[in-house]
Structure 1
Amino acid sequence: MTARARRLLAAALAVALLPAGCGLPELTDLPLPGGAPAGPGYRVTAEFTDVLDLVPQAAVKVDDVTVGSVEKISLAGWTARVILRIDREVQLPANATAAVRQSSLLGEKYVTVTAPTTEPRRGRLADGDVIPLARTTRGAEVEEVLAALGLLLNGGGLAQLRTIDQELGRALDGREPAIRDALHRLDEFVGGLERQKADIVRAVEALDRLTGRLARQRQVVGEAVDALAPGMTTLARQRAQLTSALTALGELGRVGTRVVNRSRDDTLASLRSLKPILEQLVRAGDDLPKSLDFMLSYPFPPNVTGAIVGDFVNLSITADLDAASILANLVAAAPAPAGSATGGRTPGAAPPPTAGGSRPGARPDGSLPDLPLLKCLPDLTKFPTTWTPPKECQLPEGCQLLKPGSKVPVGGLILPKGIVPPGTAFPAGTELPAGTILSADCILPVTGAITGTVGGLTDILGGGLLP
């Protein structure tokens, strides 16, 4: 039975018990419920978790003075929204509080609006403002009071509470510091959980997605677990062996540690002794592997292995019989008469190539000799992709210089270090960009007669083939 039904029943009983000679006032003589303002007012929305049996047209009071009425009650989710119409002359702070009260034990419900008591007043309550749940309360119902009173009078749980209190006191007696420290740690733990709330939510969501995926792959997971059964059976049968192996491994670790600890000084001394040897090996650099390679073919160089066939050695000779090269070498080697018109050198003479010069055959002042062949070199600062010497250079027809990185033609020659070797149309020692490619026409053919003497390896080692 609701509170309103009980009030109606009580009123009916009171009417029945009244003397017959007492008359009731007419219904028209009763005042209208609520306290709607006579003039214009402003509307404020108050949110409550429970409005009990509050009805529209109920009074709105400030300091027990009716200043308005309840205009409408609606529900938004689990929150009750009560629209209050308050007289415009009533001024309230913007942070006012609201509560549902009861005029008497069986009286009607009304809403009281008051200024806050725990904080200073701020602003002014205006039309359309909202009093949130944090600033609204409700009074205790008669049923709740009577139920609590009945529990108290009937001894419901009091004896148990006394026992619990006594046992709790005995448990905490003498352990106050530990309990206090535990509470502080619990507070820190809860605070940490609060700071990591977003991470925990994401982890739970990820776990939800994982469990969903596992649920969709339940059959696959079941088959995988079934397939593990034979392996687990084998491991169970070999449990003793695995245990023995792990035990032996632990013993091996202890022995190894003992050996390393005892041989530490000797190991360090050995490493210090190796330091000079390693330094000498580093200084040797590439000489050591080259010498090892030479030892395999001693007394011949490593590239002679292709020339040795059985007990014979094939000798390959490349002869440069180009007349221009011979003439250039003869002229460069000839002494210049003193006091000549050319400043102490024979016209057209060219000195031998120097290692430091950028172009071989250059004079001390940097100019080239007057031989046509030595003037036929490309500009090294602007090396073209393909350079063809002019006809006046008298180079073989078809001789070309290709830029480094170009495709090597058939029979072409690559200059890894940029130094022209003997046997080409260019003077030996001419410096070009590293990787320059000479076409096949730039390589001079071998002319003249070559004679050789046939003999065995023992003849060569004994000097029998020497003249």
Structure 2
Amino acid sequence: MKRRTARIALGLCLTVSLTGLALGAGGLPDFDGLQDLPLPGGADLGDHPYEITAEFRDVVSLFPHSAVKVNDVEVGRVTRISLADDGWAARVTLKVNGGVRLPANAYANLEQSSVLGEKYVQLVAPEDMRARPDLPDTRAGTTKAYARNQGRLHDGALIPLARTNRNPEIEEVFGALSMVLSGGGVQQIQTISGELNKALGGKEGDVRSVLRQINTTAKSLDKNKKHLTAALDGVNRLSATLATRDRKIGEILRDLPPGLKVLSDQRSSLVTMLRALDSLSTVAVDTVDRTTNDLVADLKALAPVLKNLADAGADLPQSLQVMFTYPFTDEVLTGVKGDYLNVYLKIAAAPGTQIVPPVRGGAAATRSSLPLPALTAPSGGGS
């Protein structure tokens, strides 16, 4: 009976294969083998399925005819797996039931049904769209969320690498677990926990205080982050300025050691000078303390003089102005009328001066030596 059933199944397969070959020769879709035959069961694609493409970095154990699910419900299948144009990613072609509506920015995840189960592709809507899985059709109008996501996933759409990922393989999990168990520090957990208990035992209050202070510090830093950013920007500008003047800074640093050497050589002299200044300051303070009363009395005696000078006001500058215009002040010039001013000169001859008197009446006069008296004569002069 079993042999007969197997023969019937094999005959059906050969019949279907021959039918596919005949259809391919007649111009219908080609038949490449048993993998092109639809398997029993699986998702119902409906009358108008649409095809999308997703790019993955890794498609280990994913084959054509693998399931495509939405919320763990089969809605399509994988039709083709090929290499992407960049040569580093895999391009998976998916055929999805036409009645399934997903946003245009949907995600594609490569998942596994169980530990040793089959791989399948899970189509996931973004977080803000999962509350509205049934998006309206473009012909019936759009909503804000629908417009924000640029419509629904349509035929020929591409899901890029940025919106695809995969779950870790069982081999990767076991490898990481073996690393942890063999040398990852599992044996030291008890030691670490014991040491922490010893370190923190009886110091819970101090630890809480430290945590509170850390919390306060973090809050203060968060409040002053603008000032911290401004300070860092200032340091950045300062460093840029110093970088532009590195040559001058280098010269200063080269000249600095000789100067420090001179200071070191004259250290004893500087110390002596500072001690002398200390002694001088002591004497000066003592002198000021002893003459305080006299200094106060002198200042009080000086007060009337300063008061009189203040009361003089503008008279003092005017009198000084007159002193520089002696003997003719500006006021004298305003009182002179005309172009001439009479000036009287008093001339006195030096003692022993000889003068000859004039001849009078035509008679000869005897010359005699007479002393020259003081003469006063008017003289006219130009102003």
TM-score (norm 2): 0.50
**1:28 and 2:50 aligned:** no
Contact 1:36 1:59 in 2 (8 A): no
Supply the AA of the counterpart residue of 2:72: D
Rounded Cα–Cα distance in structure 2 between residues aligned with 1:83 and 1:268: 105
Rounded Cα–Cα distance in structure 1 between residues aligned with 2:98 and 2:74: 13
Residue ranges of structure 1 left out of the alignment (5+ in a row): 1-22, 295-300, 308-316, 319-420, 425-443, 457-464
2:145 is matched with which residue? 123
Deviation sequence 1:123-146 (CA, Å, 0-9, x none): 345247999999876423323311
2:194 is matched with which residue? 166
Q: Secondary structure at the match of 1:304?
A: coil
Question: Structure 2 matches for 1:53-452, cutoff 5 A?
Answer: 53=59, 60-68=68-76, 87-92=97-102, 99-105=109-115, 107-108=118-119, 110-114=121-125, 116=127, 123-124=145-146, 126-127=151-152, 138-154=166-182, 156-173=184-201, 174=203, 175-188=206-219, 191=222, 195=226, 199=230, 202-203=233-234, 206=237, 209-210=240-241, 213=244, 217=247, 221-243=249-271, 278-291=306-319, 302-304=324-326, 421=334, 444-446=338-340, 450-452=342-344
Contact 2:83 2:89 in 1 (8 A): no
Contact 2:72 2:122 in 1 (8 A): no
Contact 2:49 2:95 in 1 (8 A): no
Q: What's the CA shift for 1:59?
A: 5.0
Q: What's the CA shift for 1:249?
A: 6.2
Deviation sequence 1:9-59 (CA, Å, 0-9, x none): xxxxxxxxxxxxxx9x9951566799895625486989xxx8443779775
Distance 1:81 1:248, change over 3 A: farther
Supply the AA of the counterpart residue of 1:101: E
Rounded Cα–Cα distance in structure 2 between residues aligned with 1:90 and 1:212: 62
Rounded Cα–Cα distance in structure 1 between residues aligned with 2:290 and 2:37: 108
Contact 2:53 2:91 in 1 (8 A): no
Q: What's the CA shift for 1:243?
A: 5.0
Contact 2:101 2:152 in 1 (8 A): no
Rounded Cα–Cα distance in structure 2 between residues aligned with 1:268 and 1:130: 98
Contact 2:69 2:76 in 1 (8 A): yes
What is the root-mean-square deviation of aligned Cα atoms in Å?
5.9
Compare the two structures and name the one with the higher helix fraction: 2
Q: Secondary structure at the match of 1:66?
A: strand
Distance 1:75 1:30, change over 3 A: closer
Q: Secondary structure at the match of 1:89?
A: coil
Contact 1:36 1:68 in 2 (8 A): yes
Distance 1:98 1:29, change over 3 A: closer
Distance 1:197 1:227, change over 3 A: closer
Kindly, what percent of the aligned residue pairs are identical? 29
53-62 or 280-289: bigger deviation: 53-62
Contact 1:43 1:83 in 2 (8 A): yes
Deviation sequence 1:288-338 (CA, Å, 0-9, x none): 3444676xxxxxx5422689xxxxxxxxx87xxxxxxxxxxxxxxxxxxxx
Rounded Cα–Cα distance in structure 1 between residues aligned with 2:161 and 2:101: 21
1:406 is matched with which residue? none
Distance 1:230 1:200, change over 3 A: closer
Supply the AA of the counterpart residue of 2:145: G
Q: What's the CA shift for 1:235?
A: 1.3
Contact 2:67 2:74 in 1 (8 A): yes
Contact 2:129 2:145 in 1 (8 A): no
Distance 1:450 1:252, change over 3 A: closer
Distance 1:283 1:101, change over 3 A: farther
Rounded Cα–Cα distance in structure 1 between residues aligned with 2:231 and 2:262: 40
Contact 1:35 1:68 in 2 (8 A): yes
Q: Secondary structure at the match of 1:231?
A: helix
Residue ranges of structure 2 left out of the alignment (5+ in a row): 1-9, 15-32, 133-143, 349-375, 377-383
Q: What's the CA shift for 1:261?
A: 9.9
Rounded Cα–Cα distance in structure 1 between residues aligned with 2:98 and 2:328: 118
Q: Secondary structure at the match of 1:154?
A: helix
Aligned residues: 290
Q: What's the CA shift for 1:61?
A: 1.9
Q: Secondary structure at the match of 1:111?
A: strand
Deviation sequence 1:387-434 (CA, Å, 0-9, x none): xxxxxxxxxxxxxxxxxxxxxxxxxxxxxxxxxx4567xxxxxxxxxx
Supply the AA of the counterpart residue of 2:208: P
Q: What's the CA shift for 1:66?
A: 3.2
Q: What's the CA shift for 1:154?
A: 2.8
251-260 or 147-156: bigger deviation: 251-260
Distance 1:65 1:119, change over 3 A: closer
Supply the AA of the counterpart residue of 1:445: D
2:345 is matched with which residue? 453
